[in-house]
A and B are shown apart, each in its own frame.
Chain A
Amino acid sequence: MIELDNVAYSYGGAELFSALNLSLAPGSFHFLTGPSGAGKTTLLKLCYGELTATAGQVRLFGADARAMDRNAVAHIRRRIGVVHQDCQFLDHLSVAENIALPLTVSGRTAQPTDVTDLLGWVGLTRQAAQTPPELSGGERQRAALARAVIMSPDVILADEPTGNVDAEMSQRLMALLLELNKMGKTILIATHDLSLIRTAKAQVSARVLRLKDRKLQLAGADL
C-alpha cells in the first residue's frame, strides 16, 4: 500500500535520513519510534504525500508520489486517514462538522448516521455541537481519529496520538486503533511512548521500527 525504497530526505542542507526502506502491507500494524527530531513526523508526511523525498522512491497505492500533482495527492489523502498530535481542526466549525469535513471536501453528502455513529464510537456524542477549543486533549484526539476514519480509509497514520493525554485516555485511544486494525485497516503510529507499544504488542502482532542515526531499524527485544 505504502512503500518507501531507498528514500532520503534533507532539510536546509542537512540530511534527516537516508537509504530508508519501508513497506506497509494491507492489514499490518506498525509502530515508529525514535528520539525527538529523528524524523518520525517527516517520515509520516512522506507517507501521505505532504512532503517529497529528496532521493529514492515513495509509492502510494502503487503510484510514484513524485509524479503526483496536487489533485492526485488530494485523492490519495482520501484513502489515508491522518491523526496529528495537534489534531488540526477548523476551530469555527462544530466537532460534528469537523468530523464530516473529509466527506464534505470530497463532494459526498455526509449522512447524519455516518457522523453520529462515529461520534458514538469515540464517545463524543454529547460534544457533537461543541467547537474543538471547547474539548479536552483526549476528546480532541478522539475527534481527530473519528475524522481520520470517516472516509473508511485503507491506511491510518497517527503522529503521537497519545502525546497530550493521560494514561487512561492513551489506552482508550489504542483500543480504538486496535479495533480498526482488526477491521483490516493498516496502521502506522509514530510514538515515543514505549508503554503504549508494550500494551499493544500484547494484543496484536505489530512491527516496531526505530528511526535513529538517520536509519530505520527493526526494534528488538529491548522495548
Chain B
Amino acid sequence: MTSFLHATIIAGTPLFLSTLGEILNEKAGNLNLGVEGMMLMGAVAGFLAAKGTNNAFLAILCSILFGCIGALIYAFLTITLRANQTVTGLALTIFGSGISSFIGQNLSGKVVPDRVKYFLSPIKLPLLGDIPFLGKVFFTQDIIVYFSYILAFAAAFYFYKTRIGLNLKAVGENPYAADAVSINVALYKYVNILAGGALCGLSGGYLSLIYVPAWQNNITSGRGWIAVALVIFAAWNPCKALLGAYLFGGLDIIGFRIQDGFISKYFLDMLPYLVTIIILTLFSFKRSKKNSPPKFLGLPYFREER
C-alpha cells in the first residue's frame, strides 16, 4: 500500500505541473490546448541539456525555458495577433511533438547521465520523513515533488489572497472591465501564459529526467490532454488540482496492482475520463459561480470594440 501511494505521487506530479500551467492560462482567459506540445519541448530540451552539461540544475532550467518558448509562440499569436485560441493551441501541440521528435531522433533509448540522476533522486526530508506511513509516501520524494507541494499552495495564495490574483481573475472574467480600471490586460495574459508554459515545460522535464529517465519519442503519451481535462475536474483551483492529479495518477497505475480479474483493466483505463464527464455534468447542473470557467475563456480581446 505504501509503495502504491508512493508511486501515485510520482505518477501524479507531471500531471499536476501541467494542470497548474493550464490553470494559469485559463485564468487569464486563454484556452491553451498546446500543453502536450510544450511538455514535449520541455522534455527534449531538458534531456539534451542533461546530456550536454551533466548538470541537473541547467537541465531543469532548460526544460522550463523551452516550455516558455512554446508558450511565447502561443501568446504572441493569440494575444497580439488575436488568432483563434483553439487552433493555435492544437498547432502548438503538433509543432511541439514534431520538434521534439526531430531533435530527439538520435537520442532514442539514451539514458540521463548518472550525475544528474543522482542529484534528482529521492531525498528523505528530516523529521517529516520519519512520520510513519505518511513520511514514506509524501516526504521521501525528489525535489520537484516537494516543489510541486509548495507550488500548489503558492498558486492558491496568488489566486485568492493577492491583489494581482484578483486582477488576473478580472482579466479572465471580463477584460473590458479590467481594462477600464487600468489593468494591463495584455501584460497579465503574457505573464501568466508564459508562467503556465514554464510549468508545462517543467512537467515534460520531470518525465524525461526523473520519471522515465531516458529519452523516448513522444514521451508524454497524451498526459498533456489529461491535464486539460484535469483543469475542469479541479474547477480551476490549484489545491484541488493537486488532489485530482494524484487521483488520476493513482487510477492510471492501480490496474497493475489489482489485476487478477477483480475489476476489468479496460474499466480502470477509462475511469479518469468517466469521472471527468460526471464532474462536468454535475457542475453544469449546479451552476455555481465558484466552479464555472472564466467567462472570457477562449475569446480574443479587442480593445477598440466596446
Do the two shown chains form a genuine complex with each other? no
Q: Which residues of B contact A (CB under 8 A)?
A: none
Q: Which residues of A contact B (CB under 8 A)?
A: none
